[in-house]
Amino acid sequence: MFRFRPVLTPVGGALLVIALFGLIRALFNRNSYEIILASAALLFLLAFGIIGMWKSKKLKSLEPGWKPPFPLTAFSKLAQTGFDNAGDETHISGFPESIPLFFRMHFFVKGRFLPSGSTAGTKKGSSVFVETSVPRGETSSQLMLNFPMSGIFKGDGSCHLRDIFGFFSFPCGQPQQRTLNVRSAPCIGKKTPINAQTGAEDQRNKPSADIERYYMREYTPGDRFRDINWKSSEKIDMLITRISTDNQEKVSRLEIHFRNYGPANASLEALWLLDRAKARLIFFLRSLMEQNASFIFDVCSAGGSWEIENQDDLDNFFEELACISFLPPQNEIEASKGAGDIYVFSTACDIGLRSFLLANNLRPVNLFLIQPLQKTAQKSKKQKAETAPDTEILNITDFESNGCTSSARWFRKDVKRLNVQTNKVEMFYAGLKI
């Protein structure tokens, strides 16, 4: 009895108790028909237990491959476009082909998901449990490991040999651990046209090995007009810039502030606002990199700073951005040093945003602010205008449908709108749907 207790499922345990009770009752009543039925049930469990234990011991050294999609992006309606691998399945491989009859290999993933990377908000996240079974004769399977928003997933993967009736579950193989960064689900928006002259200028010498290769090239915003080769431009109907050995090429640097200031024990509503701020920043950087690859982004947040020069730097930054959560507000008195426009991404949780804007009122500030939805019962005309593309809703049921548990603490809505004024403000709205 003791040996089978760890591997018996609740269904198998119930069958065992019923069979034993039926056998004892049949022996007491001397009912041969009930004795045969109870004995057959016990022999059935015994046979499946022996076969499963024998095979699970042979599979003790099994190490299946657990390969999640990279980058791992939160699932949304835009997943159908294949954007950032959103909605892709996790590939599980390396299973044996020969499995006893009436048995299947199962792969379980258990762990915790921290929304927006918060280790304090929502009381250390939600538990996650998903599984998949491997079809008979196959050596691989797909696992749906999706999340409704950005954050960090820390989980364990394990294999089990289970019978098709659900009576036994034998652990086998080596357990595996993973820590996965989940990027924000993509958002829809208008591309922000940026004039290269609005950024700070940076001069860089051309390497001597590239002098002949880049002696003349197509004109790009930010080049000096006196470097344009007008004669060559007239011949090919295209502006051509001269690059000499002693010339310094101008590069535009954009100063970007991601203000992840907020409460230490944030609610799910606050973390959802932060997630949408991340998505807006990702969309902004991607669109500008496509617009002009010569842009250099100086991004700073409450926890660090990054210099992004190329696509590799951008991808590395997106991975780190998924882990960034709220940090306590700070007193900011000094103005940001630099020249050109400032691009600020923030949420209504940022109580120090007004002082930051005031300290930088001498420079053009472009603010992208994520606000919560109004809490009134009847929608006004203004609220109805907020429900379309600039409003993004997080359904609490999305957690349950993706194998994540939700908590009653998540239902509280405690974020109030923030009223700020600056040169240019773009408002976006996010809310919870219960």
Residue ranges of the domains in the chain?
Answer: 10-58, 65-183, 207-246, 253-433
CA distance 138 to 253: 53
With 90 as the cut, is the pLDDT of residue 411 above it? Answer: no
Beta bridge partners of residue 180, listed in sequence order: 153
Return phi, psi of residue 230, to 5°. Answer: -70, -35
pLDDT of the residue at 120: 67
Nearest one of 47, 180, 48, 172 to 112, comparing CA atoms: 180
Residues 153-200: tens digit of each pLDDT: 999 999 999 999 999 999 998 888 989 999 999 887 776 666 655 555
* Residue 397 three-state SS: helix
With 90 as the cut, is the pLDDT of residue 258 above it? Answer: yes
When computed from its CA atoms, the radius of gyration of the chain, rounded to whole angstroms, is 30
With 50 as the cut, is the pLDDT of residue 387 above it? Answer: no
Burial class (CB in 10 A: 0-12, 13-18, 19+), 274: buried
CATH of domain 65-183: 2.60.40
Strand positions, DSSP E, 116-261: 126-134, 140-143, 151-163, 169-183, 200-205, 216-218, 240-242, 248-258
Is the Cβ–Cβ distance between 105 and 133 less than 8 Å?
yes
* Residue 16 three-state SS: helix
Residues 108-145: tens digit of each pLDDT: 999 999 888 887 655 577 889 999 999 888 888 888 88
Average pLDDT of the residues in 287-300:
87
Q: Is residue 98 very low, low, confident or very high in pLDDT (cuts 50, 70, 90)?
A: confident
pLDDT of the residue at 77: 57
Residues 70-88: tens digit of each pLDDT: 888 988 655 444 455 555 7
Q: Is residue 247 very low, low, confident or very high in pLDDT (cuts 50, 70, 90)?
A: very low
Residues 198-231: tens digit of each pLDDT: 555 555 544 444 444 446 777 777 676 677 777 7
Is the Cβ–Cβ distance between 190 and 77 less than 8 Å?
no
pLDDT of the residue at 214: 46
Q: Is residue 37 very low, low, confident or very high in pLDDT (cuts 50, 70, 90)?
A: very high
Rounded to the nearest integer, the mean pLDDT of the chain is 81
* Residue 122 three-state SS: helix
With 90 as the cut, is the pLDDT of residue 259 above it? Answer: yes
pLDDT of the residue at 213: 42
pLDDT of the residue at 414: 75
pLDDT of the residue at 335: 63
Identify which has the larger pLDDT, 212 or 6: 6
CA dihedral over 337, 339, 345, 346, signed as positive or negative: positive
